[in-house]
Structure 1
Amino acid sequence: MEELLRPIYQEWASRCNTRGILLIEKTAGHATVTDTFDVVLLVIVDSQSEPLYLKHYSVSGEKAALYAVNERKLNEWFVLGSHRKAIDWVFNGKIVFDRNDYVWQLRQRLEQFPPKERRLKMGLEFAKLIRRYTDGKALFTARHWLDSYNHMMHALHHLARLTVIEHGLYPEVTVWNQVKQMDGQIYKLYEELVGSEEPLPKRLELLLLASEFLIHSFIVSGSSHLCEVLKEKSGAWSIEEMTRHPQFAPYSVDLAIMLEYLVERKVLTAVEVPTKGNRMFERYYILQEGKI
């Protein structure tokens, strides 16, 4: 298959904007890594190029997919987790072209997982965790067991990814294999939720109690990126100012619920600022002194 694809990746290798090319083959038991294609070609191009270009091919009865992704979009996949397989592709793909050791250096950076990137990724996972936990708890209270189960399963996945990130690694597609070796407590919660013979409401009740404790243990590491950005100015921030700040953009809709959680936990203080409206105040947020 690689020989048949060679003209395609050689054509990309001849372009001055191509930084590296990796070839990922489907293996037994891991067909989903390549989205069931027999081969994936990952072409990394410079940031000035088109963010994403896709092609599908049929070669002698087999399927191949080509992803030409620019550096900015690839980094977005890494940070936001919007294409989790990309991590696996970069780490485990066969390098068939590498201009100036670009792919080798990229792998080195991913292995080192720079602290700045780690703090941002932990912040994003922490915000998603709070969202899922809060919604799961509300649905549990309303006795919507299956909907609560769905949200709490997602909350456990965010807890798992937080654990992996805190250990200095990127969460992989098989994140529970990673967690099993790092944190027996979280893995046991996962096993009990999906495999226990207890009635579902009882399983959820126990999980909610345990999750509340675990979430609290991640407050410092999970909110360090947000608090670091808030320290850029001495005064309070409005939600409008935050949503305009590029460092907060990745949090998207989860930013508001994270702020309220941190107010409840007295990491932040909500300040009421008068408006022109009668008895109407705008909420601003400021980091409590000595917190994080």
Structure 2
Amino acid sequence: MENILRSIYQERASQPETLGVLMIEKSHLSIPTTDTFDAILLIIVKEAEQPVFIKHYSYLDKKAALHIVTEKQLRTWILLGSNKRIFDWLYNGKVLFDRNEYVAALMEELKEFPFYGRKIKMGLEFAKLIRRYMDGKAFFEHHHYLDAYNHVIHSLHHLARLAVIESGFHPEVTVWNQVKQLEPEIYKLYVELINSDESMDKRLELLFLASEFLIHSKTNIGASHLLQVLQEKESWTFNEMLIHEELAEYSVDLGMLLEYLVERGEIEVINVQTKGREVFHRNYQVAKKLS
């Protein structure tokens, strides 16, 4: 397949903005990560008009896909975990071109997984976990059990990813295989939820009790990044958090995480007088006990 695609990637490799070229071939021995294509050509570029450009090719009975991705987009995927296949592509892809050992340095960075990078990723996963857990609990309390079940499944997935990151690894496509080795109690909780013979409401009731303990145990590490950023100044409006470079990635999950931490006593609400009578601006600060 490499010979067939050589003319495509050689043209790209000659361009100065190209940092690296990898080829990922379809394997019948592992979980498919090439989206049914026989091969994926991943080309990393410094800059481009659009962050992701994809083109499909056919050759006899084979098909291939070309993915041109900017370095910034690649870093965003790595940080947010929003493209689960990218780690498999980077780990298992064959390097066809590597300008100034860019790909080699990137792989070394992924293996080392710097702690601050882990801290941000854990914060984002914890925020998603809290959002799903709280929404699931609300559905459960209103007897919408199937909707509650859906949210609980997602919350367990975020809990599993959080545990993998905490252990110093990047969550992969087979995250449950990872967490089974690293934190079997989370894996056991997931299996019990989907395999239990109990009624749906009973399963969910037991799961919420168990999840609450696990979430509580992850709060310090999960909220660490947010609390560290908030300690940069005395108090914050919610909008100031939203536009902060590091907190913007929390997006729609930030409000729920903030309220959870207020309830836990990790963050304090500061009421600031407005022009309206008995109406206050709601500001936030890290609880004094943590300062």
Same fold (TM over 0.5): yes
Amino acid at match of 1:57: Y
Over the matched positions of the two proteins, sequence identity in percent amounts to 55
Equivalences for residues 107-186 of structure 1 within 5 A: 107-186=107-186
Query: Is it true that 1:28 corresponds to 2:28 in the alignment?
Result: yes
* Structure 2 counterpart of 1:276: 275
Distance, in Å, in 1 between the alignment partners of 2:60 and 2:289 is: 65
Q: Secondary structure at the match of 2:101?
A: helix
CA RMSD of aligned residues (A): 1.2
Deviation at residue 28 of structure 1 after TM alignment: 1.1
Distance, in Å, in 2 between the alignment partners of 1:46 and 1:220 is: 37
* Structure 2 counterpart of 1:286: 285
Deviation at residue 29 of structure 1 after TM alignment: 5.1
Runs of 4+ in 1 over 2 A off after TM superposition: 29-32, 47-50, 289-292
Which sections of structure 1, spanning at least 5 residues, go unmatched? none
Once the two structures are overlaid, the 10-residue window that deviates more, 23-32 or 12-21, is 23-32
Q: Secondary structure at the match of 2:290?
A: coil
Q: Secondary structure at the match of 2:214?
A: helix
Deviation per CA, 1:28-66, whole angstroms, max 9, x where unpaired?
Answer: 154631111111111011146641111111111211111
Distance, in Å, in 1 between the alignment partners of 2:37 and 2:282 is: 50
Equivalences for residues 14-163 of structure 1 within 5 A: 14-28=14-28, 30=30, 32-47=32-47, 50-163=50-163
* Structure 2 counterpart of 1:254: 253
Distance, in Å, in 1 between the alignment partners of 2:196 and 2:26 is: 34
Deviation per CA, 1:46-103, whole angstroms, max 9, x where unpaired?
Answer: 1466411111111112111111111110010011111110111111111111111111
Distance, in Å, in 2 between the alignment partners of 1:228 and 1:158 is: 21
Which sections of structure 2, spanning at least 5 residues, go unmatched? none
Amino acid at match of 2:13: A
Amino acid at match of 1:24: I
Distance, in Å, in 2 between the alignment partners of 1:104 and 1:145 is: 48
Once the two structures are overlaid, the 10-residue window that deviates more, 193-202 or 166-175, is 193-202
Please say if residues 31 and 37 of structure 1, whose CA atoms lie closer than 8 Å, have aligned partners that are also in contact.
Answer: no
Deviation at residue 246 of structure 1 after TM alignment: 1.1
Equivalences for residues 4-19 of structure 1 within 5 A: 4-19=4-19
TM-score by length of 2: 0.97
Equivalences for residues 204-215 of structure 1 within 5 A: 204-215=204-215
Q: Secondary structure at the match of 2:19?
A: strand
TM-score by length of 1: 0.97
Number of residue-to-residue matches in the alignment:
291
Distance 1:41 1:93, change over 3 A: same
Distance, in Å, in 2 between the alignment partners of 1:163 and 1:56 is: 37
